[in-house]
Amino acid sequence: MKTVLITGCSSGFGLAAARHFLARDWAVVATMRTPREGVLPPSDRLRVIALDVTNAESIRHAVESAGPIDVLVNNAGFGVASPAELTPLAALREVFETNTFGTIAMTQAVLPQFRQRKAGVVVNVTSSVTLKPLPLIAAYRASKSAVNAFTESMALELAPFGVRAHLVLPGRSPETRFGETARTRMHGMDHEAYADFVKASFARMADPSSPVTRAQDVAEAIWRAAIDPSAPLRIPAGADAIAWAAETIGAPISV
């Protein structure tokens, strides 16, 4: 039986991915900053472990508690919205600490066992907003773009050891708590210089006719990355993400 460790499983993409792997008879180590009962279906193949990816001791304890794993899914993260001019440096550091440095720290903690075993898969969940510029999310986009760059270079280094690395790039998903979480980290949206621009931007994003991403789309993309050695390095997840990828790359993509 293979084992996957997934970060950020309390809701959204991480929760959907944990359910997806459980339904396919994998052992799942589901990590959350604050574990909650009843989030996932009871299973003797499930372990729920507390993990704060910004804390080195928490990472060490989680990886030791998990034991040998076959796949690491770095999904933990959050959004922040603000005009670039008005983004507090403290907010910028906070989003990088979790989205970027947390992902890198988890990866570094797990790679030794993959390298020594000459097998393993790292799946980093970033975002399709890294494919093209969007307003008001400069800090978030930068934190995820950094993970893309890190993963792409790392994949070249790991290939000789038989270890794979992939990026899953979700689109906008109204069914998750991402937007709700991002709203708690908004800065400067009512500034008189940007208020009209912010209003117009939010109206475009709320267009109900626009394609969106379902949490299940992301779970399926993560599953593909985990089990398919021929999967591409970058896997867009969701109708909007697939359309953006085709548009920005300028050619048909493997999805």
Per-residue pLDDT tens over the stretch 68-81: 999 999 999 999 99
Options 3.40.50.720, 3.40.50.970, 3.30.390.30, 3.30.750.24; CATH for 3-249 is 3.40.50.720
DSSP 8-state assignment for residue 159: G
State the pLDDT at residue 235. 98
Residue ranges of domains in the chain: 3-249
Q: Is 194 a catalytic residue?
A: no
Mean model confidence pLDDT for the chain: 92
The active-site residue out of 13, 140, 178, 244 is 140
* CA–CA dist 61, 171 (Å, integer): 32
Per-residue pLDDT tens over the stretch 88-101: 999 999 999 999 99
State the pLDDT at residue 251. 41
* CA–CA dist 85, 23 (Å, integer): 46
- 198 Cβ neighbours under 8 A, 6+ residues apart: 83, 136, 189, 190
- 235 Cβ neighbours under 8 A, 6+ residues apart: 166, 167, 168, 169, 221, 224, 225, 255
Total Cβ atoms within 10 A of residue 133: 9
- 156 Cβ neighbours under 8 A, 6+ residues apart: none
Segment 22-35 mean pLDDT:
97
Q: Is the pLDDT of residue 44 over 90?
A: yes
Per-residue pLDDT tens over the stretch 203-223: 887 777 788 999 999 999 999
State the pLDDT at residue 254. 44
Per-residue pLDDT tens over the stretch 102-138: 999 999 999 999 999 999 999 999 999 999 889 999 9
- Farthest-apart Cα atoms in the chain, separation: 57
